[in-house]
Structure 1
């Protein structure tokens, strides 16, 4: 994007400015980032997400649902799943017409090639989506760019150009944006924003250079400055929020079970009421009979007994929230390396797309989608769509409910960041 292009668009930016601020969410997933921004007063224009299950969830809750996050959806774009490549190739003229009219582009390219939860692969084709994202930004020319990704994106990778050739995708993004934006980056621990999960994520905030030419903007310093007041305004009594404080009201022993409403042959938790401050904030006015996504896994008796042994041993040995020891795995005949038992007194470790990576702290079972959603700070009214899980080759092309939750930006963090960025634009515009 040239300085001349910025100058030509300056009048359009001023005309588009008002008390409201808008955004486009690219690689939107199920809508965690969109949800948080809408709760912070932002209005969505449209979202780009290529997985049908994830887009079903976003559409159900944020386009057609009660949040009203997307009030400006353009007539030229069908409300269905799209890849960013499809958007760039099919709707380029429409994107160009938005230049100077969008306050913020948000989202993070899929992180599988960078994530420490799997095998880092710099040549994963999904990593090419970084380039498409930057193309999208160059066409739309938003005032602000907000990117979220795993910490692994900051690592140096050997690329396919030779043994001595390395690529750092975080540096690549920052370098490309720096031509026309003032770029800041930081690794954020989500538990510092009230999320009951120790989840460290890499954030980039880029503010266009022509917006505040006489004033230096430090967005992450402002986010930190506003953090405690944000937490108080949300109603939290103290931090961090433990996993027990987040999901204790969903224990089977407190509620009992009923036949699943949407899955034949499964049972779900028969919900009573929230117990803690966090649970009350997340539950809101949903009501006891309207809570969804509490379907329980059908564990065989052998697995239940194994889980009981693991839970007891981890409590005794003080190994909660950490991977099982090699000795214990050998004794139980386990090959899986990532399995952990939750510590009810501390935030959970980072949740993943694999339902059996975490075991409940007191009940011999894996967590439900709703429990994972609580650990990600999704409110209880947010209902997930599509399959619960998938496997085999389909894991490469499907995003079921557990994966949707795990891949999302925690809405509380998105809301806190969005609240500060909205204030920066309104106070300095």
Structure 2
């Protein structure tokens, strides 16, 4: 299954497609940081910064021949020879996640609307290469309707893809990575399309509404939809994903093994086995004492069923109302309040008030992950989630496990970056948070491969009959 990955990021989508039998023809990614991680894991060793800098200096034709173009998609589209060559390869699949939140059909008539530029470039690539199948991935939210309109960016993009020559049958889906084996609640919108000639030959159909994934068992599933792989009872949790990465004095070898085997077996994912006993990207971040104390409160509240938004309400309250805020949230029977490890955080209400007063904060998005549930959606900032039992944020490797990246998949570049540089740089935490879960990508690639295989097995006489009816 020959495929191209546009806006490829660090490679989560490609990793899953490769496991499903995909063979990368070319990837395009403008971020040098994310592209370096992609190259290192899926194409060639990019760990040496000098070697990587040398690759970046190479011309477009060199990079395209080696499978990774580190540049804007517009640059690729302008190269007539490259586009002609890609069309001649008869691509099976083009995948990618162009930013689409502001996409509208009217955008092509307004060249000044930059929100539309990248999706239209993606569709231009489809038109010029005519792949058998297309996948467009994006965040939930782009299905919200425009003001004073019945349409949305998602529906407009679906309509545009359907009309893109040579024409496509398009299935709209809202798929959650946890239904496909990831230990994480991660909903994503996708358009999964098959070229009209193939869809007609096979008699494929799609649902008129967006199809929403769920745990097994399911009854009727549209033809192009990736098949969910787990039941509610089989869903994977934070414990499944990261129990073995706790402090060595805390964990033992009796934790769940099934997911761990998937994460430590590089060959299942087509990666080279890791020789080092140390986990790549598992570097504990350093926190101030006050931050560690605040995390301990979060964990204590979580273990007692107390909503940690009480900290935000306390920090916002005037001194006369602060005690009432705490009394309304924390029942007297919960004292002394302890961490999951048994350490006392506050023996009395006065102790808790004193502690909260000392640790006032304006950051209120932090949440403690629960061991026995799938994680919340992994994001690009490390500070939003607190470890279930250790007073710290999660490492890059722990978040990668929650996404479904095996341990042999190494993230390169700096770990984080400052707020002012976030528009320009894509460090490790952002690479993980921006990625498509490899588990979801594997399911998508598997379904497309199955459909394309049915097309190839279809007797020529039947294909001719189907063509004659069109």
TM interval, shorter chain, is 0.7 to 0.9
Query: Is the CA contact 2:312–2:361 (under 8 Å) kept in the aligned structure 1?
Result: no
Query: Is the CA contact 1:22–1:44 (under 8 Å) kept in the aligned structure 2?
Result: yes
C-alpha displacement of 1:98: 2.3
Match of 1:357 in 2: 384
Matches of 2:176 and 2:292, distance apart in 1: 33
Query: Is the CA contact 1:183–1:206 (under 8 Å) kept in the aligned structure 2?
Result: yes
C-alpha displacement of 1:255: 7.5
Query: Is the CA contact 1:255–1:272 (under 8 Å) kept in the aligned structure 2?
Result: no
Match of 2:288 in 1: 300
Query: Is the CA contact 1:249–1:273 (under 8 Å) kept in the aligned structure 2?
Result: no
Describe the SS at the equivalent of 1:178.
helix
Describe the SS at the equivalent of 2:222.
helix
Equivalent residues in 2 for 1:34-53 (5 A)?
A: 34-53=14-33
Query: Is the CA contact 1:358–1:366 (under 8 Å) kept in the aligned structure 2?
Result: yes
Match of 1:420 in 2: 447
2:162 to 178, 182, 185: 178
In the alignment, is residue 23 of structure 1 matched against residue 3 of structure 2? yes
Describe the SS at the equivalent of 1:384.
coil
Query: Is the CA contact 1:324–1:339 (under 8 Å) kept in the aligned structure 2?
Result: no
Matches of 1:96 and 1:333, distance apart in 2: 60
Query: Is the CA contact 1:134–1:173 (under 8 Å) kept in the aligned structure 2?
Result: no
C-alpha displacement of 1:286: 3.8
In the alignment, is residue 239 of structure 1 matched against residue 225 of structure 2? no
Matches of 1:240 and 1:211, distance apart in 2: 35
Matches of 2:286 and 2:162, distance apart in 1: 51
* TM-score (norm. length: structure 1): 0.78
* TM-score (norm. length: structure 2): 0.71
Query: Is the CA contact 1:35–1:411 (under 8 Å) kept in the aligned structure 2?
Result: yes
In structure 2, relative to structure 1, the CA distance for the partners of 1:84 and 1:40 (3 Å cut) is same
Matches of 2:377 and 2:113, distance apart in 1: 22
Instruction: Spell out, residue by residue over 1:376-405, the C-alpha distance to the aligned partner (whole angstroms, 9 max, x if none).
Output: 000110000111011122101111100000
Match of 2:107 in 1: none
Query: Is the CA contact 1:45–1:74 (under 8 Å) kept in the aligned structure 2?
Result: no
Instruction: Spell out, residue by residue over 1:120-152, the C-alpha distance to the aligned partner (whole angstroms, 9 max, x if none).
Output: xxx984553111111111111111110111111
Matches of 2:366 and 2:394, distance apart in 1: 12
Query: Is the CA contact 1:223–1:416 (under 8 Å) kept in the aligned structure 2?
Result: no
Structure 2: tracts of 5 or more residues without a match: 47-59, 104-111, 207-220, 266-272, 317-355, 457-470
In the alignment, is residue 283 of structure 1 matched against residue 264 of structure 2? yes
Query: Is the CA contact 1:249–1:275 (under 8 Å) kept in the aligned structure 2?
Result: no
Matches of 1:407 and 1:342, distance apart in 2: 19
Number of paired residues?
367
Describe the SS at the equivalent of 1:210.
helix
Structure 1: tracts of 5 or more residues without a match: 1-20, 67-72, 115-122, 159-163, 257-270
Equivalent residues in 2 for 1:92-111 (5 A)?
A: 92-99=80-87, 101-110=90-99
2:204 to 217, 220, 227: 217
C-alpha displacement of 1:166: 8.5
Q: Which protein is bigger by CA-based radius of gyration?
A: 2
Matches of 1:302 and 1:318, distance apart in 2: 20
In structure 2, relative to structure 1, the CA distance for the partners of 1:225 and 1:47 (3 Å cut) is closer
Match of 1:262 in 2: none
Equivalent residues in 2 for 1:187-202 (5 A)?
A: 187-202=174-189
Query: Is the CA contact 2:225–2:447 (under 8 Å) kept in the aligned structure 1?
Result: no
In structure 2, relative to structure 1, the CA distance for the partners of 1:198 and 1:76 (3 Å cut) is closer
Match of 2:36 in 1: 56
Query: Is the CA contact 1:46–1:74 (under 8 Å) kept in the aligned structure 2?
Result: no
In the alignment, is residue 203 of structure 1 matched against residue 198 of structure 2? no
Query: Is the CA contact 2:226–2:443 (under 8 Å) kept in the aligned structure 1?
Result: no
